Amino acid sequence: MEVWPGKAYPLGATYDGTGTNFAVFSEAAEKVELCLFDADGTETRITLPENDAFVWHGFIPNIEPGQRYGYRVHGVYDPPTGQRCNPNKLLLDPYSKAIDGNFDWNQSLFSYNFGDPDSRNDDDSASSMPKSVVINPYFDWGNDRPPEYEYADSVIYEAHVKGLTQTHPDIPENIRGTYSAVAHPVIIEHLKSLGVTAIELLPVHHFANDSTLIDKGLSNYWGYNTIGFLAPDSKYSSSPNPGGQVQEFKAMVRALHEAGIEVILDVVYNHTAEGNHLGPTLSMRGIDNGAYYRLVEDDKRYYMDYTGTGNSLNVGHPHSLQLIMDSLRYWVTEMHVDGFRFDLASTLAREFYDVDRLATFFELVQQDPTVSQVKLIAEPWDVGPGGYQVGNFPPQWTEWNGKYRDTVRDYWRGEPATLDEFAYRLTGSADLYERTGRRPVASINFVIAHDGFTLRDLVSYNEKHNEANGEDNNDGESHNRSWNCGVEGPTDDPEINALRARQQRNFLATLLLSQGVPMIAHGDELGRTQQGNNNVYCQDNELSWIDWGSADTELMEFTRTVSELRAAHPVFRRRRFFSGRPVRQRGGDGLPDIAWFAPNGSEMGDEDWESGFAKSIAVYLNGNGIPDLDVRGQRVVDDSFVLCFNAHYEPIDFAMPEKKFGESWRAVIDTAADGDDEATVVAAGEKVTVAARAVVVLQAEPTE
């Protein structure tokens, strides 16, 4: 086969219409073989002829999209010194843009013999490995444009490609659970009806199903086991063709953009599926182990593990950093995604041992003209020492606010001494973000995410019920801050079921009306249950999928109502923190932009905030006190609102603020009201009854 020198850049397999350039980095290699596979599995090996700055490369004419390939890397195999080259192991290209096939878990994938980690195993792994695929980079994007919502106007919907779509009766069976299903009109219509501006997809980078789970009849459902940072996973593709998942993914993005919905990817750059020193040799381990992974300094046989998965990517090495940055740019420029949520992002800040928010990775992101301009969301923790970093990420980043989740859960389950912190979370967590020049939108507010109870289960279970995972209920978080409302699990008691329904509405109303960016977990608006399992990472079945046939339509309508209220009123979407001071500039009314009231109508004092038993509070939001300007530079003015929160187990009468705040108020949201109830209207100083464990939102009536 004819082989030309080719180019060292770009890395990966690049088709130009006449052939394909192959380039792979390895400082550890002595020789690199490109392995091409026919449809029947026949392998052709070609030694890459050139090596420039440790990038091995070659151009093969007439190699077209759909060609399956891999690498064999010749070099030193000496695990105690961190060197693990073994040409008997076929390796996936770290820059694979598509991967075809599955892992056949057996001895050949491992470079040692089972039972003897110090031995060397030279079984050929090619027949047990999936293959990298040369893709067609050309796609008709038409007039595709990113929606580019401001954070303040965003509502994020966290979803799993398969879990969201697998049981929907209006989606054709042959595309359920795929990218095409996410782009189906019924899914788009549902998202639009909720006011969703961005769908945040659980990992779609190609990932490996763990052999330990397969042996139990389970699988890695969530996908936090990446082995291809540039490849959309073929498991979510309805295309039968190798590489077809790329075109299908792009078509999904184009359809969502056309509907005005952004696409955010949950990405896992902190570790890979190759695991610890006893893991398989699938890709980077066999290409250049020390460059791609953090090794224990005094014994490089072992891996530093800040993720709980066996290894951590070596973000202190330039080629490892290059892989991450090239991946991010690729997904933005070629796949048109609108942002990323970084799993265990604190790991990316560990250049050496401690978390350093000024680590090289964050400097590169800050300087990159492409990546710095999309939405960047950190999961601001990992499992290593000092890994919990909520509030400490760089200014252009937003964060999953775990303190918001915990505080709101504690407030609504009646825990003592949460009132002052609840107020911070409701107003954008200034205590976490304001000191570093950030704004309320730095806080991605959530009560529920994929990891943990669903919203319905949060109000139905005190304890986790993870027996189906096969770990004797030892996996998953044991401290869930949940409350079952009196009975564990399903019940026929109408009072308990009514309370659970009200609690779900309380959480959704709090979430959507808090300052910051709300994130809804898929199916929570439909009353989805996982039967008390708070760790369905391995449950690719009805337990984890949305059951569209049993959707709670009343809860869905309530969610839509509150979302519409948020979208219609900028007072709930402020771009700056409240000051609490009188507003007199630019036509202000002299009233504070925010005020807090006890149920008796008096403004909150220190003793009120410090009262550990207090569970009820009202907050006044001044629609004439918004410091934001619209696109024309005009001051934003809105109606004013009073939000009454009652987490007490008895009804509370709330007195409306004095007349200067508003002459009369009309209830627009009542989480305890029947949908047919007539709206309550109260005058200044009069009282409105807020039911036990309920929220009432009142809007100022226009004056004559």
Residue 429 pLDDT > 70, yes or no?
Answer: yes
| Token pair 């964050």 in the structure block, residue | 362
Residue 254 lies in a domain: no
Q: Omega before 79 cis (within 30°)?
A: no
379: left (phi over 0), alpha (psi -120 to 50) or beta: beta
Domain boundary among 74, 101, 134: 134
Q: Which residue has the higher pLDDT, 611 or 654?
A: 654
Q: Quick one: average pLDDT of 195-201?
A: 98
Residue 503 lies in a domain: no
CATH number at residue 58: 2.60.40.10
Give residue 115's pLDDT.
Answer: 93
Given the residues 200, 288, 305, 343, select the one marked as catalytic.
Answer: 343
The pLDDT confidence band at residue 139, using thresholds 50, 70 and 90, is very high
Give residue 352's pLDDT.
Answer: 55
Given the residues 93, 233, 379, 524, select the one marked as catalytic.
Answer: 379
Cα separation of the two ends of the chain: 86
Helices and strands, number each (H, E), in the chain: 15, 29
* Short-list 160, 339, 187, CA closest to 264: 339
Residue 150 pLDDT > 70, yes or no?
Answer: yes
Phi and psi torsions of 152, nearest 5°: -60, -25
Give residue 418's pLDDT.
Answer: 83
Residue 32 lies in a domain: yes
Residue 379 annotated to the active site? yes
Residue 418 lies in a domain: no
Q: Quick one: average pLDDT of 623-633?
A: 87
- Let me know the angle formed at the C-alpha of 287 by 358 and 385, rounded to the nearest 5 degrees: 35
Residue 351 pLDDT > 80, yes or no?
Answer: no
Residue 703 pLDDT > 80, yes or no?
Answer: no
pLDDT tens column, 242-301: 999 999 999 999 999 999 999 999 999 999 999 999 999 999 999 999 999 999 999 999
Give residue 326's pLDDT.
Answer: 98
How many CB atoms neighbour CB 610 within 10 A? 11
Residue 29 lies in a domain: yes
Contact (Cβ atoms closer than 8 angstroms) between residue 390 and residue 402: yes
Residue 125 lies in a domain: yes
Domain boundary among 134, 163, 193: 134
Residue 357 pLDDT > 70, yes or no?
Answer: no
Rounded to an integer, what distance in angstroms lies between the CA atom of residue 23 and that of residue 28?
15
Instruction: Please compute Rg for the chain using Cα positions.
Output: 27
Give residue 417's pLDDT.
Answer: 76
Rounded to an integer, what distance in angstroms lies between the CA atom of residue 678 and that of residue 184?
38
pLDDT tens column, 369-396: 999 999 999 999 887 888 888 988 888 9
Instruction: Say if residue 547 is exposed, middle or buried (CB neighbours under 10 Å; 0-12, 13-18, 19+).
Output: middle
Residue 275 lies in a domain: no
Residue 122 annotated to the active site? no
The pLDDT confidence band at residue 346, using thresholds 50, 70 and 90, is confident
pLDDT tens column, 609-619: 988 778 999 99
Give residue 588's pLDDT.
Answer: 66
Contact (Cβ atoms closer than 8 angstroms) between residue 198 and residue 243: no
- Contact partners, residue 334, CB within 8 Å, separation at least 6: 137
Question: 69: domain range?
Answer: 12-134
Contact (Cβ atoms closer than 8 angstroms) between residue 518 and residue 512: yes
pLDDT tens column, 459-518: 999 999 999 999 999 999 999 999 999 999 999 999 999 999 999 999 999 999 999 999
Question: Could you give the maximum distance between any two Cα atoms of the chain, in Å?
Answer: 88
Residue 295 lies in a domain: no
Give residue 589's pLDDT.
Answer: 75
Q: Quick one: average pLDDT of 138-155?
A: 97
Give residue 614's pLDDT.
Answer: 85
CATH number at residue 599: 2.60.40.1180
The pLDDT confidence band at residue 427, using thresholds 50, 70 and 90, is very high
Provide the CA 125 distance to its chain's centre, in angstroms: 34
Q: Which residue has the higher pLDDT, 500 or 632?
A: 500
Domain boundary among 106, 134, 162: 134
Residue 567 pLDDT > 80, yes or no?
Answer: yes
The pLDDT confidence band at residue 348, using thresholds 50, 70 and 90, is confident
Give how many domains the chain has, as a whole number: 2
Q: Considering the chain, what percentage of its residues have pLDDT values greater than 70? A: 98
Residue 545 pLDDT > 80, yes or no?
Answer: yes
Contact (Cβ atoms closer than 8 angstroms) between residue 467 and residue 474: no
